[in-house]
Amino acid sequence: MSVPKKRRTSSSVGRRRSHHALKTVSLIKCSKCGKSVEPHKACSFCGTYREREIIKIKEKTAKSEK
């Protein structure tokens, strides 16, 4: 089994890992309901994208008490 000839320096390891950091998620407000939405995606709350209804969302029904 082969073994690496030389040890990787901490700086080269750090340079490789420089792209592993988490990026912040950019959010915008929905023009219809005002909820936070990712850009270029339909609102999951009201179903609109660019002020048009794209997805039909079922209304939340009240739970029946027994």
> What pTM was estimated for this model as a whole?
0.55
Per-position DSSP letters for 14-56, written without gaps between them: HHHGGG-SPPPPP-EE-TTT--EE-TTS--TTT-EETTEE-SP
Residue 15: inside a domain, yes or no? no
Domain of residue 39, residue span: 24-58
Is residue 36 in some structural domain? yes
Integer Cα distance of 35 and 53 in angstroms: 15
Q: Residue with structure tokens 């390891």? A: 13
CA angle 41, 59, 35 (to 5 degrees): 40
- 64, part of any domain: no
What pLDDT tens digit does each residue of the chain (66 aa) get?
889 899 999 999 999 999 999 999 999 999 889 999 999 999 988 889 988 888 888 876 666 666
The answer to whether the beta carbons of residues 26 and 38 sit under 8 Å apart is yes
- Is there a domain that residue 7 lies in? no
Number of domains the chain contains: 1
Please report the pLDDT score of residue 9 as a whole number.
Answer: 96
